[in-house]
Amino acid sequence: MKTYEGSRSLAGAVVTVDGKRLDPRFDLRTYSKAGFEWTYEGAGPLQLALAILADHFGDDRKAMERHEGFMREVVAELDNAWTLTTAEIDAALARGR
């Protein structure tokens, strides 16, 4: 099981997966050159949703299909510091079907 974690510092927003920085996946789509954000709906949260789902699924097409709903239902609702497990992501995706 993977664990995704997000936090903010003076250096900005940092997101890791199992302790390593999460790839923003600009190769799939660039919503925000500034990188990840959360707690609202917008470009930074879309970038985060896409990156999390691309890593979670291991399937870029599937991530592209599902990231907008995941951003609205999950990423926009995250606190300043957060943790998501693969089980929590799967549960949220199942609710969003």
Is pLDDT of 97 > 80? no
Token duo for residue 64: 């592209």
Determine the pLDDT at residue 9. Answer: 85
Q: What is the per-residue pLDDT across 50-96, written as a single tens digit (0 to 9) for each?
A: 999 999 999 999 999 999 999 999 999 999 999 999 999 999 999 97
Please compute Rg for the chain using Cα positions.
12
Determine the pLDDT at residue 73. Answer: 96
Residue with the larger pLDDT of the pair 12 and 43 = 43
Q: Rounded to an integer, what distance in angstroms lies between the CA atom of residue 33 and that of residue 88?
A: 27
Phi, psi dihedrals of residue 75, rounded to the nearest 5°: -60, -40
Phi, psi dihedrals of residue 5, rounded to the nearest 5°: -135, 140
Rounded mean pLDDT, 15-35: 96
